[in-house]
Amino acid sequence: MEGLNAQMRAAPLHVFVEAMVFLVLCLVAIGSFGYAAWKWWDGVEASKLPVWRQVATMLAFLAVATQVSVLAAFWIWPQIGHDYVGFARWARWILPPFLVALPSAIAGKRAVRWLLLTASVVVFVICFFIVLSA
């Protein structure tokens, strides 16, 4: 534990701030996806939509879940998380689900629409910048 504290004290402040911004963005993306799923499965918004909107919203859920799983792989899978070039190759799989999630999420209504759009855009932006930095 003492070695970790020494490493944290040696890091410049901007590195710490960038890490906190990255962590907050990841938590916003995962949290908004989780809250959208909770609102959708609560059943209040799902029962009032026409069938085509329900199908489009479920397609948006699948696409955003794919995006979130790629971001979670960055955290969970050590081979990807420690190698930015490897993650850049992995993160290129974010674009197809993003292109599906964007119009599909717009078909939803109320909070689910905005929560899915927020999660999709934030995950796309995070992975886009990681791909650019690799």
Tell me what pLDDT residue 47 has. 63
CA dihedral over 43, 45, 49, 55, signed as positive or negative: negative
Q: 3-state DSSP call for residue 121?
A: helix
In contact, 101 and 63? CB cutoff 8 Å: yes
**Both structure tokens of 54:** 């329900």
Q: Any idea which residue has 């040696």 for tokens?
A: 10
Confidence label for 75 from pLDDT (cuts 50, 70 and 90): confident
In contact, 20 and 79? CB cutoff 8 Å: no
Give the mean pLDDT of the chain. Answer: 80
Tell me what pLDDT residue 121 has. 92
Instruction: State the number of CA atoms in the 13 A half-sphere of 39 facing the CB.
Output: 18
Q: Classify burial at 28, counting beta carbons within 10 Å of its beta carbon; exposed 0-12, middle 13-18, buried 19 or more.
A: middle
d(CA 100, CA 45): 21
d(CA 81, CA 72): 9
Confidence label for 45 from pLDDT (cuts 50, 70 and 90): low
- Name 4's Cβ contacts closer than 8 Å, sequence gap at least 6: none
